[in-house]
Amino acid sequence: MPEHRTSRQVNLVSRPDGEPVESDFEVVEVEVGELDDGHVMVRNRFMSVDPYMRGRMNDAKSYVPPFAIGEALAGAAIGEVVESRSDDLAVGDHVVHPLGWREVALVPDSQAQRAPEIADVPLSAHLGVLGMPGLTAYAGLLEVASFAEGDAVFVSGAAGAVGSQVGQIARLKGASRVVGSAGSAAKIRHLIDDLGFDAAFDYHDGSLTRQLRDAAPDGIDVYFDNVGGDHLQAALHALTAGGRVALCGAISVYNDTEPAPGPGNLTLAIGKQLTLRGFIVSSYDHLREPFLDEVGGWIADGSLRYEETVVEGIERAPEAFIGMLAGANTGKMVVSL
Ligand code: NAP
């Protein structure tokens, strides 16, 4: 397969100081090495850009090791097997694997998952609504936050990949009220008009506590936190007794260069007997099957909608990543390769 002997990839050339900039990244062309036993060569079709990658660009200890300077970045991708030395995967298979940020990847078959067959969805959906962000929404709402029918739910980052699915799953499972926050008037309209949220507000429009109170006058039983900071503080005010918080992400502080202070009203958690529970989606693989069954069904019958913001070309992957952090996406941000 001589046409796959070189590949362009995106290397990290410097660790971002605050917000990442294009010069932190470099697109280079490299030789594709030899295919080892038990590996497949994958021509990537779509790669994901995700908020957690920002943390891996810092030289800091975390639940995933930092990216190395001068080497390719990595992250979820879906592509087609073009050469196989695996007993399990054949040429033509579509696989999801962790070696994105490059056009061609040599992947151990143990790290490549055949994409489940779900009718009428694009390949890119396996990086979003049917992939890691989708499972995050499903597991975080239903298991981490112990959602129950009749709960009033607030989700921040509501127009993004995870948040847009949280709100819709809550609606489909019988929430009494679904409220979202996002960063523009167009996103707010999208949440209410297209995704069926009961209320939504733009977090740029003044006090979050006041806006949340107006949107959920009877309070909230569940807060799905994608943003942290002031959003968490406002949610602590609005939560009812026995309320639950799924601590999923804190994107408002990912570019901070100094540690951000915690919410000033955390002691409310005592009197209201709140549960605040952090989670990482990789611990919820046991929910993958029911997740795919339920969400696949909702997509098929049109009751769950998903958006994707698609940026074309590996050379624009840094722009897609920087843009996603700044809110350029509605739904899942992916790069088409
Ligand atoms: P996303 O929501 O599709 O994209 C990120 C969004 O964050 C942007 O579109 C932007 O939308 C918003 N944002 C950026 N800066 C913000 C700020 N200062 N305040 C409020 N919103 C801001 O990303 P995603 O993949 O669905 O991830 C959402 C969250 O879930 C992230 O915190 C991520 O780290 C977390 N996550 C956690 C897990 C886990 O296992 N725990 C797994 C996946 C994702 P606006 O225009 O609305 O500002």
The atom number, within ligand 1, closest to the CA of 252 reads 18
Q: What is the share, in percent, of the chain residues with pLDDT greater than 70?
A: 99
Instruction: Say if residue 292's pLDDT is above 60.
Output: yes
Using pLDDT thresholds of 50, 70 and 90, give the confidence band for residue 54: very high
User: What's the pLDDT at 36?
Assistant: 96
Whether 281 is in the pocket of ligand 1, judged by its Cβ within 6 Å, is yes
User: What's the pLDDT at 53?
Assistant: 97
Residue nearest to atom 29 of ligand 1 (CA): 226
Least confident of 2-11, 146-155, 156-165, 268-277: 2-11
Whether 44 is in the pocket of ligand 1, judged by its Cβ within 6 Å, is no
Using pLDDT thresholds of 50, 70 and 90, give the confidence band for residue 1: very low
Using pLDDT thresholds of 50, 70 and 90, give the confidence band for residue 3: low
List, for residues 77-91, the tens digit of each pLDDT value: 999 999 999 999 999
Instruction: Say if residue 68's pLDDT is above 90.
Output: yes
List, for residues 140-170, the tens digit of each pLDDT value: 999 999 999 999 999 999 999 999 999 999 9
The structure tokens 């769950």 sit at: 304
Using pLDDT thresholds of 50, 70 and 90, give the confidence band for residue 62: confident
Write down the number of H helices and E strands in the chain.
Answer: 9, 15
From 56, 164, 202, 226, mutation site for ligand 1 pocket: most ligand atoms within 8 A of C-beta: 226
Q: What is the mean pLDDT of the chain?
A: 96
Q: Any residues with CB less than 8 A from the CB of 263 and at least 6 apart, and which?
A: 229, 232, 233, 236
Whether 233 is in the pocket of ligand 1, judged by its Cβ within 6 Å, is no
Using pLDDT thresholds of 50, 70 and 90, give the confidence band for residue 63: confident
Residue nearest to atom 11 of ligand 1 (CA): 327
List, for residues 197-209, the tens digit of each pLDDT value: 999 999 999 999 9
Query: CB of 35 within 8 A of CB of 83?
Result: yes
Q: Any residues with CB less than 8 A from the CB of 179 and at least 6 apart, and which?
A: 152, 153, 154, 155, 197, 198, 199, 200, 201, 212, 215, 216, 220
Instruction: Say if residue 126's pLDDT is above 50.
Output: yes
Using pLDDT thresholds of 50, 70 and 90, give the confidence band for residue 331: very high
Coil, strand, or helix at residue 111? helix
Range 307-315 average pLDDT: 98
Whether 182 is in the pocket of ligand 1, judged by its Cβ within 6 Å, is yes
Q: Any residues with CB less than 8 A from the CB of 149 and at least 6 apart, and which?
A: 173, 174, 175
**How far away, in angstroms, is 84 Cα from ligand 1 center?**
36
**How far away, in angstroms, is 36 Cα from ligand 1 center?**
37
Least confident of 1-10, 147-156, 160-169, 306-315: 1-10
Whole-prediction pTM: 0.98
List, for residues 91-100, the tens digit of each pLDDT value: 999 999 999 9
CA angle 29, 35, 41 (to 5 degrees): 65
Query: CB of 8 within 8 A of CB of 315?
Result: yes
Instruction: Say if residue 178's pLDDT is above 80.
Output: yes
Whether 181 is in the pocket of ligand 1, judged by its Cβ within 6 Å, is no
User: What's the pLDDT at 64?
Assistant: 84
**How far away, in angstroms, is 51 Cα from ligand 1 center?**
6
The atom number, within ligand 1, closest to the CA of 248 reads 41
**How far away, in angstroms, is 261 Cα from ligand 1 center?**
19
Report which of residues 185 and 260 the model is more confident about.
185
Instruction: Say if residue 4's pLDDT is above 80.
Output: no
φ/ψ of 220, rounded to 5, equals -125, 150
DSSP-derived secondary structure letter, 160: B
Nearest alpha carbon to residue 219 among 243, 200, 247, 191:
243
From 132, 251, 255, 256, mutation site for ligand 1 pocket: most ligand atoms within 8 A of C-beta: 251
List, for residues 227-255, the tens digit of each pLDDT value: 999 999 999 999 999 999 999 999 999 99
d(CA 206, CA 230): 11
User: What's the pLDDT at 119?
Assistant: 79
Whether 155 is in the pocket of ligand 1, judged by its Cβ within 6 Å, is no
Instruction: Say if residue 2's pLDDT is above 80.
Output: no
The atom number, within ligand 1, closest to the CA of 52 reads 34
d(CA 59, CA 258): 14
User: What's the pLDDT at 117?
Assistant: 83
Query: CB of 265 within 8 A of CB of 245?
Result: no
φ/ψ of 182, rounded to 5, equals -155, 180
d(CA 291, CA 144): 14
Whether 248 is in the pocket of ligand 1, judged by its Cβ within 6 Å, is yes
Q: Any residues with CB less than 8 A from the CB of 294 and at least 6 apart, and which?
A: 138
